Amino acid sequence: MAEPNTTENTGSILDRVLSSQHAQAIEGFVPTETFSTLIKTLSGKEQDVLRRRFGLHGNDPETLEEIGTVYHVTRERIRQIENGSIAKIVRAKAFKENVVPVERLILSILNTHGGIMEESLFFSEALSHAGNTAEQQRALRFILEQLLNHKLVYRVGDSLIKGCWKLAAQSLDIVEKAIQLLVSIVSTKGSPVTRDELYDSFKKQPLYQEHATWFIDDTITSYIGLSTELAKNPFGEYGLSSWGTIVPRRMNDKILLVLRKHGKPMHFTEIANQINETGFDRRKAYPPTVHNELILNKQYVLIGRGIYALSEWGYKPGVVADVIVETIRKEQRPMTRDELIKAVLAQRMVKRNTVLLALTNKSLFNRRADGTYELVSQ
C-alpha cells in the first residue's frame, strides 16, 4: 500500500483550519457593534458627533455645518471634536483588543482576492454575516478610513477599474495587465463564456504562467469584478458589459438570452414569465409585449401556436407548406409522406394531420403513383 502524502495531508488540514478560523472571524464581525464598543471611552457629545458624522445615528451622514448648527458651534469646532475623538479611540486601551482582529479579517479577505477588491464585492464578503445593510457599510467604512488607513486605501474608479479597496502596498501593474488580458479573451471569443471557460483560457496565458502562485481562483474572480468592461449575466456567464446578452437593456436582449439559456423553443407566455423570474431589472415583462417583439424580429421563428424558436438553431420562417417545399428542394428527390412528416415535425410543433393537409395543396405538390411527393413544376 502506498504511503500517504504527509505534505499534502498537512496542507489540507491547515487549509481547513484556516478556512474555519476565517469563517468564525466573519461570523463574529459586526461593524456597528465594533463601532459602539470603540466609542464607549468618549463623552456623550463626542459619541453623538461621530454617529452623526458617519451616519450611525439612524440617519444619513451629516456635514460639519449641520452638526455645528445642532451644537451652536462652528464647522471647524466640529472638525476638531471629530479628529480628537478618533485620536482618543486609537489611544484607548481597548483599541488593539477590538481593532486588531478586524484588521486580520480585512487583510485576510483582501489577500485571498489578490490584494484588491471592488467595493461592493468586498463589502458583500466582509458583511456576509452581519448583513450588508447601509448602516453596517457605514460602520465598516469608518473602521477602514479612520482606523485602518495605514494598511489599506480606497482607490477611486477610472475607465479600467471600478472603485475598490486595496492593500496600501499592492501594486496595480499586474492587476491592470490581468484585467486587460481577461477583456481581450472575452472580446476574442465574441460571445458569453462560463466561469470555467474564462479561467481555463486565462490560465493558458504567459502572464498566468509567470505569476501562477498569485492567480488563485478568488483572485481572478476579484479582477473580473474590478473591470469596468466585464460583467456577469443572471445565468452566470461572463462577457463584455456592453453586450445585450450580458447586461440586457432591451426586451429583445432579454428574450434572446432566455431562449439561448433554455435551449429549446418556448411559448411567448413562458418567455415572459422566465424574464420576470430571472429579474434582469425592475421592469416587468408582459406577454403581449414579448409576443410583439417575437413577431417583428427575424431572429425568432414561429414553429407552433405561440411557440417560438431561434433562427440560429436552424429553424426557417414560413408555414408548414413552406417547410415541405424547402425540404424537397434540399433533398432534390421525391419524398415519402413519412419522410416529410418527420422533416416538418423537426421544424414545427404541429400535428401530423396538419402536415397531411398541407400535402393536399395541388398547386404546390404532386403525389406520384408510388406514393411519394414532388414539387409541381413552375
Phi, psi of 214, rounded to the nearest 5 degrees: -85, -35
State the DSSP H helix or E strand holding residue 307, giving kind and residue range, or none if neither: strand 307-310
CA distances from 231 to 163, 194, 195, 198, 216 (A): 15, 12, 11, 12, 19
Residue 321, SS3 per DSSP: helix
pLDDT attached to residue 70: 96
Length of the chain: 378
Phi, psi of 231, rounded to the nearest 5 degrees: -155, 170
What pLDDT tens digit does each residue of the chain (378 aa) get? 334 344 444 455 434 444 555 666 677 899 999 999 999 999 999 999 999 999 999 999 999 999 999 999 999 999 999 999 999 999 999 899 999 999 999 999 999 999 999 999 999 999 999 999 999 999 999 999 999 999 999 999 999 999 999 999 888 999 999 999 999 999 999 999 999 999 999 999 999 999 888 888 889 999 999 999 999 998 889 999 999 989 998 999 999 999 998 999 999 999 999 999 998 888 999 999 999 999 999 999 999 999 999 999 988 889 999 999 999 999 999 999 999 999 999 999 999 999 999 999 999 999 999 999 999 975
Domains, the chain, ordered by start: 31-114+121-147 (1.10.10.10), 171-240 (1.10.10), 251-313 (1.10.10), 320-375 (1.10.10)
Strands (E), 112-176: 116-118, 152-155, 164-167
Query: The C-alpha cell of 246 is what?
Result: 450580458
Residue 85, SS3 per DSSP: helix
C-alpha span between 128 and 110 (Å, rounded): 15
CB atoms within 10 A of CB 309: 21
pLDDT attached to residue 146: 96
